[in-house]
């Protein structure tokens, strides 16, 4: 093994560090440490003068480790790493010691103790630096094309957005034509526009020169990673393969069929979806209509609120009222959710139109009898019988049965109710933790058309950040599995938040360096110590601990 | 006795290390006893690291990560919570758990960082120097810490730790989701068993002993000791050595 030759550069940062700590004594101390060939102080190490000195000394003394003791690596590590690289030193052989943000600035009244701390920190940095190994960054080509799974309103908008930016886009749709749930709807709230109007986008999608539409098709296998996905698609009985740089999940959701609930029979007791069809055909003859909200939702089985049913019920009630002002419409609800200004306004209008609202409690749900709905009104503390000739049940959107299959295929997580789970609820709502896979529309959570479209734009824009690059450069510091020690317990495969670890064809556990983000969780969790976290190895961390300056 | 506690802190790059930098930018003054080791994620911390530090004579250890739900790596801090939780339970058995703290500091909480460091430093100051630095307790504490270290190096507890989150969320190989409460019950038993087993191994490391002798030394009933010996033998860590009078003697053959 080659001799370790360390150069240490200690920064005054003007008076920021030099005004508090005793730099001279720190520098003299640094010179006494093992393997230190050169140690100096600079007024500003990050100035061109300081950087030139680093470059010169690397060449002059053949330094193979460089330490800068100055500010925080969070702002300056990249600069110093690049400087090392310019002088021919592998950037991973650089180590930074924080003696400003976490020392001189916070111990201004205790300069001696601050100086002592700086010496400890430099000694710790040095012992880690001694164990550093050169690493290489990995470059990945990006195939500038997209695959969109699901051809509903969300998927189509995402496709158009990407195609208009010039990216080759493929939509695969399970059904025989595009359009998704929108095909089943009559009009859309809050402006009562015909659903068919929004479906005109199908023409734009199908005729776009950058979009390839595959209907009656499903994905059966997905391989690869960001920039280089290969998806096997089954169309009828034909199998084909397609290579794309990213994947957007826009598989949507479906309305729960209320079979077995509240006497559903499809004739006098129907679902909101059935009602949409009747309205489309202009075929609503009923005079007394009762709508029941939260049917099969917000219960133990499906604890979530489906987001769209309150507005859907209001919309259909208003439409019926418009056609037949004498119709009696009662909405039995648990809580009315009409968020924002437009939707709340819509609710007020519904009240003005004399649509009745009766609150029921889930402990005493309404009872649909032969000609009346019996409901206990909490507010009035009495049982009311409401005559009906049509009962409409508002059921939630639920995840498709095949969503779990898709989740396994793409190794993306689902939540309790089988909707897909994004990387971060606030910070990364359109991404999956796995790079290169995005989500929009009701596959994520019940969304109305407006939300589906804005999510589609979000997913497309997140995707184009990658697609617009020629290649991706990824960190060299990743996890590594020693297959000799590995016992194939699969803990790391499950624990990796980025699905970067898998079993290869020989049954060996391997890390995909492109997906690995080097968090190190797998390394700390391996039961037999088979995983090395490069640049933060057990050895390196323990050496820092042991050199922190205690002994007995 | 006047002493300055030596405290080591593991800070995750994205939240707590950034919070510490912010304390600096805001010139918030705090105790100068902490030495920081930067890691990318609190989930990187193997409990073994902390034991190495305690063995070396560190007075206190801080592990600071992102707030739960805010981890840059999605759920690394949940894994940290599990790992440090198990270590904490083992340290409790030897009265060392107060010297370790796990807390969450975000990148915007410079003030809170300083406060957490100050409070912990004062606590460690009150506790006094690590007993390992006292000649009177040195051998005993070193043994105890080594027992915990080998318990946490062994595959059994590590598998428990590594599988916990997936078993209480996704379920085991049969798809059964086990409640955290139920899981912890089994885990707690395993923690105690492994502590005792590794203690036995230490006692018979170089000298073979009978069940009764071990029982007296570690103050555990002979029938329990025998059960542990049988288990350790089946794992290949213990072998029968010889019979003295009528008592069989066992010796550790575990490789370090």
ipTM of the modeled complex = 0.96
Minimum-distance CB partner of A541 among B17, B37, B162: B37
B192 touches chain A (CB under 8 A): no
Q: Is A491 in contact with B56 (Cβ distance < 8 A)?
A: no
Q: Is B162 in contact with A523 (Cβ distance < 8 A)?
A: no
Q: Is A521 in contact with B76 (Cβ distance < 8 A)?
A: yes
Q: How many A-B residue pairs are in contact by the CB < 8 A criterion?
A: 162
pTM: 0.81
Q: Is B36 in contact with A121 (Cβ distance < 8 A)?
A: yes
Q: Is B132 in contact with A552 (Cβ distance < 8 A)?
A: yes
Q: Is A527 in contact with B162 (Cβ distance < 8 A)?
A: yes
* Interatomic CA distance for residues B197 and B148, integer angstroms: 10
Q: How far is B242 from chain A (nearest CA, A)?
A: 32
Question: B75 contacts in A (CB within 8 Å)?
Answer: 497
Question: B73 contacts in A (CB within 8 Å)?
Answer: 497-498, 517, 519, 521
Looking only at the bridges linking them, the beta strands covering B209-210 and A246-249 are unpaired
What's the burial of A341, exposed, middle or buried (CB within 10 Å: 0-12/13-18/19+)?
exposed
10-residue block means of pLDDT along chain A (552 residues)?
92 96 97 96 96 97 97 95 97 97 97 96 97 93 97 98 98 97 95 93 97 97 93 95 97 97 96 96 95 96 96 97 96 95 94 95 95 93 96 97 92 89 87 93 96 98 95 91 95 92 94 92 96 97 92 51
pLDDT the model gives residue A379: 87
Cα four-point dihedral sign A268, A271, A272, A273: negative
Which stretches of A313-365 are assigned E, i.e. beta strand? 328-333, 356-359
Minimum-distance CB partner of B162 among A121, A495, A518: A495
Q: Which residue of B has its CA nearest to A71?
A: B21
* Interatomic CA distance for residues A102 and A125, integer angstroms: 14
Domain B7-130: which CATH number of 2.40.50, 2.40.400, 3.40.50, 1.10.287 = 3.40.50
Tokens 């049940």 belong to which residue? A393
Q: Is B162 in contact with A525 (Cβ distance < 8 A)?
A: yes
A354 touches chain B (CB under 8 A): no
Do A155 and A456 meet the contact criterion of CB atoms below 8 Å apart? yes
Residues within 8 A of B (CB atoms), A 414-443 only: 423-425, 433
Question: A517 contacts in B (CB within 8 Å)?
Answer: 73
Looking only at the bridges linking them, the beta strands covering A509-511 and A501-503 are antiparallel
B25 touches chain A (CB under 8 A): yes
Minimum-distance CB partner of B20 among A102, A114, A548: A102
Question: A424 contacts in B (CB within 8 Å)?
Answer: 74
Q: Is A552 in contact with B138 (Cβ distance < 8 A)?
A: yes
In chain A, what is the straight-line distance between the N-terminal and C-terminal CA atoms, in Å? 32
Interface test with B, best of A494, A520, A539 (most B CBs within 10 A): A520
Do A305 and A338 meet the contact criterion of CB atoms below 8 Å apart? no
Do B118 and B103 meet the contact criterion of CB atoms below 8 Å apart? no
B162 touches chain A (CB under 8 A): yes
B115 touches chain A (CB under 8 A): no
Question: B114 contacts in A (CB within 8 Å)?
Answer: 106
* Interatomic CA distance for residues A22 and A15, integer angstroms: 11
Residues within 8 A of B (CB atoms), A 158-197 only: none
Q: What are phi and psi of A296, to 5 degrees?
A: 75, 15
Q: What are phi and psi of A298, to 5 degrees?
A: 50, 40
B118 touches chain A (CB under 8 A): no
Q: How far is A281 from chain B (nearest CA, A)?
A: 46
B61 touches chain A (CB under 8 A): no
| Same fold for the pair B7-130 and B154-252 | no
B60 touches chain A (CB under 8 A): no
Interface test with B, best of A524, A526, A533, A534 (most B CBs within 10 A): A524
B55 touches chain A (CB under 8 A): no
A125 touches chain B (CB under 8 A): no
Q: Which residues contact A64 (CB under 8 A, 6 or more apart)?
A: A2, A4, A5, A6, A89, A93
B58 touches chain A (CB under 8 A): yes
Q: Is A545 in contact with B49 (Cβ distance < 8 A)?
A: yes
* Interatomic CA distance for residues B77 and A266, integer angstroms: 50
Spell out the domain ranges in chain A.
6-135, 145-253+399-472, 256-396, 475-534
Minimum-distance CB partner of A74 among B21, B138, B162: B21
CATH class of the structural domain A475-534:
alpha beta
B29 touches chain A (CB under 8 A): yes
* Interatomic CA distance for residues A454 and A460, integer angstroms: 10
Which of A225, A248, A231, A246 lies closest to A478 in space, CA to CA?
Answer: A225
> Within 13 Å and on the Cβ side, how many CA atoms surround B83?
29
B13 touches chain A (CB under 8 A): yes
Residues within 8 A of B (CB atoms), A 11-50 only: none
Q: How far is B222 from chain A (nearest CA, A)?
A: 30
Spell out the domain ranges in chain B.
7-130, 154-252
Interface test with A, best of B7, B9, B43, B159 (most A CBs within 10 A): B43
Largest Cα span, chain B: 73
Interface test with A, best of B73, B137, B161, B256 (most A CBs within 10 A): B73
B114 touches chain A (CB under 8 A): yes
A542 touches chain B (CB under 8 A): yes
DSSP-derived secondary structure for A421-477: --SBTTTBTTB-SSTTEEE-GGGTS---HHHHHHHHHHHHHHHHHHHTSSEEEE-S-
Computed over its alpha carbons, how large is the radius of gyration of chain A? 32
Minimum-distance CB partner of B28 among A106, A548, A551: A106
* Interatomic CA distance for residues B225 and B223, integer angstroms: 5
Q: Is B39 in contact with A541 (Cβ distance < 8 A)?
A: yes
pLDDT the model gives residue B200: 97
pLDDT tens, per residue, chain B with 256 residues: 578 999 999 999 999 999 999 999 999 999 999 999 999 999 999 999 999 999 999 999 999 999 998 888 888 999 999 999 999 999 999 999 999 999 999 999 999 999 999 999 999 999 999 999 999 999 999 999 999 999 999 999 999 999 999 999 888 888 899 999 999 999 999 999 999 999 999 999 999 999 999 999 999 999 999 999 999 999 999 999 999 999 999 999 998 7
Question: A105 contacts in B (CB within 8 Å)?
Answer: 24-25, 27
pLDDT the model gives residue A473: 87
Q: How far is A521 from chain B (nearest CA, A)?
A: 5
| Same fold for the pair A256-396 and A475-534 | no
Domain A145-253+399-472: which CATH number of 3.40.47.10, 3.50.50.60, 3.40.50.620, 3.20.20.100 = 3.50.50.60
pLDDT the model gives residue B1: 52
Q: Considering the domain delimited by B154-252, tell me its CATH architecture.
A: Orthogonal Bundle (1.10)
B119 touches chain A (CB under 8 A): no
Q: Is B43 in contact with A546 (Cβ distance < 8 A)?
A: no
CATH class of the structural domain A6-135:
alpha beta
Question: What's A100's DSSP letter?
Answer: I
Decide if domain A256-396 falls under CATH 3.30.565.10: no
């Amino acid at each position: 093994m080659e001799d370790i030759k360390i150069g240490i550069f200690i920064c005054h940062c003007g008076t920021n560090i030099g005004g508090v700590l005793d730099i001279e004594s720190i520098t003299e101390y640094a010179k006494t440490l093992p393997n230190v060939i050169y140690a100096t102080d600079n007024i500003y190490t990050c100035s061109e003068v300081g950087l030139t000195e680093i470059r010169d000394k690397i060449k002059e003394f053949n330094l193979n480790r460089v330490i800068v003791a100055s500010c925080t690596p969070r702002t300056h590590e990249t600069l110093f790493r690049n400087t090392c690289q310019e002088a021919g030193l592998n950037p991973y052989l650089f180590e930074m010691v924080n003696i400003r943000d976490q020392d001189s600035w916070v111990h201004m009244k205790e300069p001696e103790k601050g100086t002592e701390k700086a010496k400890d920190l430099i000694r710790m940095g040095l012992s880690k630096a001694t164990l550093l190994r050169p690493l290489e960054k990995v470059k990945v080509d990006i195939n500038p094309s997209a695959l969109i799974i699901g051809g509903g309103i969300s998927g189509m908008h995402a496709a158009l957005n990407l195609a208009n930016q010039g990216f080759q886009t493929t939509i695969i749709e399970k059904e025989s034509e595009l359009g998704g749930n929108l095909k089943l709807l009559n009009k859309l709230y809050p402006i009562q526009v015909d659903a068919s109007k929004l479906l005109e986008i199908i023409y734009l999608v199908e005729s776009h020169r950058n979009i390839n539409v595959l209907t009656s098709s499903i994905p059966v296998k997905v391989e690869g990673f960001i920039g280089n996905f290969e998806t096997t698609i089954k169309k009828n009985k034909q199998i084909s393969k397609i290579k794309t740089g990213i994947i957007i999940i826009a598989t949507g959701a479906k309305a729960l069929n209320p079979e077995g609930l509240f006497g559903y029979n499809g004739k006098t007791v129907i679902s909101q979806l059935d009602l949409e069809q009747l309205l489309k055909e202009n075929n609503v003859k009923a005079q007394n209509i009762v709508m029941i909200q939260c049917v099969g939702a917000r219960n133990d089985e499906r604890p979530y609120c489906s987001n769209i049913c309150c507005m859907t019920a209001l919309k259909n009630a208003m439409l019926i009222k418009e056609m037949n002002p004498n119709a009696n419409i009662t909405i039995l609800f648990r809580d009315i959710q009409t968020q924002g200004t437009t939707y709340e306004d819509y609710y007020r209008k519904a009240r003005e139109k004399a649509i009745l609202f009766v609150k029921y409690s889930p402990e005493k749900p309404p009872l649909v009898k032969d000609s009346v709905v019996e409901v206990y009104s909490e507010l009035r503390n009495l049982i009311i019988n409401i005559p009906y000739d049509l009962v409409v049940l508002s059921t939630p959107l639920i995840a498709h049965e095949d969503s779990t299959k898709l989740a396994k295929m793409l190794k993306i997580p689902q939540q309790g109710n089988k909707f897909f789970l994004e990387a971060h609820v606030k910070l990364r709502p359109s991404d999956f933790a796995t790079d290169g896979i995005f989500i929009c529309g009701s596959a994520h959570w019940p969304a109305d058309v407006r939300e589906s479209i804005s999510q589609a734009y979000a997913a497309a824009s997140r995707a184009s950040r990658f697609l617009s690059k020629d290649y991706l450069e990824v960190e060299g510091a990743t996890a590594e599995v020693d297959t000799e020690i590995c016992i194939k317990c699969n803990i790391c495969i499950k624990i990796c938040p980025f699905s970067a670890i898998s079993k290869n064809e020989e049954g060996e556990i391997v890390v995909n360096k492109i997906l690995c983000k080097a968090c190190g969780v797998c390394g700390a969790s391996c039961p037999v110590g088979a995983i090395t976290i490069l640049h933060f190895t057990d050895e390196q961390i323990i050496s820092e601990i042991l050199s922190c300056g205690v002994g007995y | 006795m006047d002493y300055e506690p030596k405290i080591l802190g593991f800070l995750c790059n994205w939240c707590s290390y950034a919070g510490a930098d912010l304390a600096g930018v805001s010139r918030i003054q705090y105790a100068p006893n902490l030495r920081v080791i930067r890691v990318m994620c609190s989930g990187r911390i193997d409990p073994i690291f902390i034991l190495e530090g305690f063995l070396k004579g560190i007075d206190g250890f801080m592990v600071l990560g992102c707030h739960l739900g805010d981890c840059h790596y999605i759920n690394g801090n949940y894994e940290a919570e599990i790992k440090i939780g198990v270590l904490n339970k083992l340290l409790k058995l030897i009265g060392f758990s107060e010297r370790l703290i796990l807390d969450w500091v975000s990148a915007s909480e410079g003030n809170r960082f300083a406060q957490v460091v100050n409070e912990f430093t004062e606590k460690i100051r009150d506790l006094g120097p690590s007993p390992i630095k006292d000649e009177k307790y040195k051998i005993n504490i070193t043994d105890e810490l080594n027992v915990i270290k080998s318990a946490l190096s062994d595959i059994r507890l590590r598998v428990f730790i590594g599988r916990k989150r997936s078993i209480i969320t996704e379920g085991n190989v049969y798809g059964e989701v086990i409640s955290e409460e139920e899981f912890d019950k089994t885990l707690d038993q395993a923690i105690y068993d492994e502590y005792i087993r590794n203690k036995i191994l230490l006692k018979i490391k170089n000298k073979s002993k009978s069940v009764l002798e071990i029982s007296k030394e570690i103050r555990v009933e002979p029938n329990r000791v025998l059960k542990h010996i049988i288990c350790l033998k089946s794992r290949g860590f213990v072998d029968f050595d010889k019979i003295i009078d009528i008592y069989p003697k066992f010796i550790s053959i575990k490789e370090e």
